[in-house]
Amino acid sequence: MYRNDGFRELERQECLRLLAKATVGRIVHTRQALPAVLPVNFGLDTDGSVLLRTSAASELVRAIDGTVVAFEVDDVDAVAHTGWSVVVTGPASVVTDPAERERLARTGPHSWVPWPDEVFVRIGPELVTGRELVGRPSACA
């Protein structure tokens, strides 16, 4: 659906397709009662869940396990004035099931900074929204 402000709302499946092509996003959570944003590499599971792989002792894991978070990914072309943004909102939880951890160790994302004691964090895709910025002709063209 196009809106008159230059944006097009993206359907859930289109959002998931765009997420699957990306490798870095931003997790939004609460730290000391304030919003905190942290860039992270990630993967997408078959059900649309966002997967993070990080140190079990990280401050991030302690801050988000069992809470609702937002995860945002975008891609922008500043010259063409086009791009998209997708936000996944849902509960974050450390994956504790041994079979699931074993599966994710084979198929899930790899941490860019390997840790001796890594865990997987799953963000459930309860709300998946996105929008695309439709380019406008440049005033200089």
pLDDT tens digit sequence for 53-110: 999 999 999 999 999 999 999 999 888 888 999 999 999 999 999 999 999 999 988 8
Digit-coded pLDDT (tens) for 36-56? 999 999 999 989 999 999 999
* pTM attached to this predicted model: 0.87
Q: Is 93 helix (H, G, I), strand (E, B) or coil?
A: strand
b or e along 102-123 (b: 16 or more beta carbons within 10 Å of the residue's beta carbon)?
A: eebeeebbebeeeeeebbbbbb
Decide: 64 and 36 in contact? Cβ < 8 Å: no
Each residue's pLDDT tens digit, 110-119? 888 777 889 9
Angle in degrees, CA 118, 23, 19, rounded to 5: 115
Instruction: List, in order of start, the domains of the chain with CATH numbers.
Output: 9-129 (2.30.110.10)
Contact 108, 43 (CB under 8 A): yes
